[in-house]
A and B are shown apart, each in its own frame.
Chain A
Amino acid sequence: MEINGTDFITALKTIGAGLAMIGVIGPGIGIGLVVQGALTAIGRNPDAADQIITNMILGIAFAEAVAIYALVVSLIILFVM
């Protein structure tokens, strides 16, 4: 098979999009920590579960935003550039 310039650029783009997704490691750990903290707190004080869960989801949303930035970068590399 012959590899021309377009194929080469496509290959680089795909690799780049994959590399961009490394950025989701941090938010993954972060979300894990948030949920860990929330579950520990609920275990200690089950009555406060409602409020803790609301705040936990907010915390997850903030951590997830960073993962979404990585995702958007990789989507832009794949479909827009």
Chain B
Amino acid sequence: MKGVWILLGIIAVSVFFCGIVPGLMAGQGIAVALPVIMVPGEKVWEDFVGIKGLTITNTLIATLLTDVVVLLFAFGATRQMKTIPGRLQGLFEVITGLLYGLAKNTAGANAKKVFPLMATIFLFLLIANWIKLIPSVESVGLMHCAEDGMVGYEKVGNRLDVRKTMDRGVRATEENYNLCHHKEDGAAHHDPTEEIVQSALLTAAAQELKVESVSLKDDVGNGSSIAAYVGSNGGSVEAVQTAAVALVVEELNKAAEAGTVSAEEAATVIDNSAEVVAEVVTENYYRDDLYIVTPFLRGATTDLNLTLALGLLAFIAIQYFGVSAHGIRYFTKFVNTPALENAGKNPMGIMDFAVGLLEIISEISKILSFGFRLFGNLFAGGVLLVVMSFMLSMLVPAGVYALELFVGLIQAFVFSMLLLVFSSMAMAGHGHDESH
């Protein structure tokens, strides 16, 4: 009965946090922002502790955190071992017992050799995959200017401003990044005359298109110009320019009187007002307020570096186990010289030799298949989670979370299981008679 209440409590809490909170808060400016989806780990600190080129990515931090958790778990469970185990030791015994049973079933007498590596990789991957699912991992982080190609949002105070659900943000360009950086550095990025020319053009455009007002941010849009906007809405750009020139002269005279613009500057701009207006109207407008959040932590296994390195490690371990069991004769699996020597007696030996060469390719492709299987599953899982919570903040993400828990476990199991099977295959006989 207690278990049922706990389950109901978990469901109630997840419904609350996954559905009700974002549902209610969307109007208050808290909807789900689409996070940056990128394959390499995101940089958290560049040139860490002053060493040039040492970049700390969020996947690296997660890897180190996973290492610490695995070590704490293993030490905590085995430091004071008792005959009647406590909870932690009991859990550790259950896991290692299950894994050892599996190793024994598959590798038989060789189980003792493969087991340590395989169990370590299993524990590491399991914890790495599940750390990814802790709330605030992949979401809490540093806010900074959106770089080229990233999807950015406006900043309000110290958070991203996402007012409506399914707000896809604005794709930033190099110019956005530069402008945003200038703003961060506190440099004045707009001079008053330019602002006057711009607002005059917007007023003229609104008159031409017979709308109340035209805004750079919402109507003209990122990376577009006023001329393009007026043109695409069926207005005449020349008429807008002529109207704007008159407005500019009027406004500049006012500004010169008020002292916001110096008299000489106003005079030069008024003299060349037609050219200045013609320049600004075709100038592309870029927003300077596009920000993104780089999370401090991102699932360790969503970085191809880690998964390929683990694949390489597994590959080397398999070769090591093979050589340690058979000596140099292990490599006759690939370069099948005995079969070639016997080709006179048994012409099919040539075939065996060719098959052996093909084995090399399949052996090397193990690295790729190890690495990409893990990376693909976990990265796709992470993308699925963010896209689901972005599209539908009600209930569905909770189901996807459950699925991801399962996927994390299965992928950790599959990786260690494949390592076990390949190693035991390498240690077993080659399939041809050893006695001849």
Contact = CB atoms under 8 A, between A and B. Distances in A.
Q: Do A and B truly interact?
A: yes
Interface of A: 1-2, 51, 54, 57-58, 61, 64-65, 68-69, 71-72, 75-76, 79-80
B376 interface: yes
Given A2-B232, A58-B417, 8 more contacts: A51-B105, A54-B105, A61-B414, A61-B417, A68-B372, A68-B377, A72-B375, A79-B37
B379 interface: yes
A57 B414 CA distance: 7
A58 B418 contact: yes
B224 to A, nearest CB: 9
A69 B370 CA distance: 11
A54 B102 contact: yes
A75 B418 contact: no
A37 to B, nearest CB: 18
Given A2-B228, A2-B232, A79-B38, A54 B417 contact: yes
Given A75-B39, A79-B38, A80-B39, A57 B372 contact: no
Nearest to A2: B232
- The 9 A-B residue pairs with the shortest CB-CB distance, nearest first, are A68-B376, A61-B414, A71-B376, A65-B369, A79-B39, A68-B373, A65-B373, A72-B372, A72-B376
A51 B102 CA distance: 9
A68 B378 CA distance: 11
A72 B403 CA distance: 20
B380 A71 contact: yes
B372 A75 contact: no
Interface residues of B, number: 22
B413 A57 contact: yes
A69 B37 contact: no
Given A65-B369, A75-B39, A57 B105 contact: no
A61 B410 CA distance: 9
Contacts of B413: 57
Contacts of B421: 58
A58 B37 contact: no
B249 to A, nearest CB: 32
A2 B86 CA distance: 68
Nearest to A1: B232
Contacts of A71: 376, 380
A64 B373 contact: yes
Nearest to A51: B105
Contacts of B417: 54, 57-58, 61
A80 B395 CA distance: 32
Contacts of A79: 37-39
Interface in B400-436: 410, 413-414, 417-418, 421
B418 A69 contact: no
Interface string B369-405: 1001101110110000000000000000000000000
